[in-house]
């Protein structure tokens, strides 16, 4: 029902306000670490906090018979790569993306024809 001055009219129509919301999240794009990868990262971080260099950490891992995820002997650049990639992944996860609202339109469906067919 709508007001027309001092009179009212009954309108047989439905109105729909339509729009599109786009959400972006990096959580769907970043593969999760395996337990072994996370274990290596934790040990490397602890040793880095103690002041060891990447080469010294690689030696320590080799003495403990730990291998890289691909089954290779550790070197300093492997250790550095693990720390660097984890830092980059964490940075991506912390990033926030704004919502994007777009494609606004109003759809109005006249139901007076439907009413006529029912009678």
Q: Domain spans of the chain? A: 1-24+100-119, 31-96
Work out the pLDDT band at 7, boundaries 50, 70, 90: low
- Tell me if 82 sits within 8 A of 54, measured CB to CB: no
Mean pLDDT rounded to a whole number for the chain: 82
Q: What is the pLDDT of residue 111?
A: 76
What digits encode the pLDDT tens for the residues 18-76? Answer: 989 988 776 666 667 788 988 999 999 999 999 999 999 999 999 999 998 888 898 99
pTM: 0.57
């Amino acid at each position: 029902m709508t007001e027309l001055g001092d009179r009212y009219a009954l309108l047989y129509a439905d109105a729909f306000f339509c729009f599109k919301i786009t959400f972006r999240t990096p959580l769907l794009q970043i593969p999760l670490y395996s337990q072994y990868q996370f274990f290596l990262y934790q040990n490397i971080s602890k040793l880095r906090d103690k002041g060891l260099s990447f080469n010294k950490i690689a030696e320590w891992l080799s003495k403990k018979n730990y291998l890289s995820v691909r089954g290779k002997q550790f070197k300093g650049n492997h250790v550095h790569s693990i720390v660097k990639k984890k830092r980059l992944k964490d940075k991506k996860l912390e990033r926030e993306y704004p919502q994007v609202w777009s494609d606004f339109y109003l759809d109005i469906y006249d139901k007076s024809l439907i009413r006529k067919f029912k009678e």
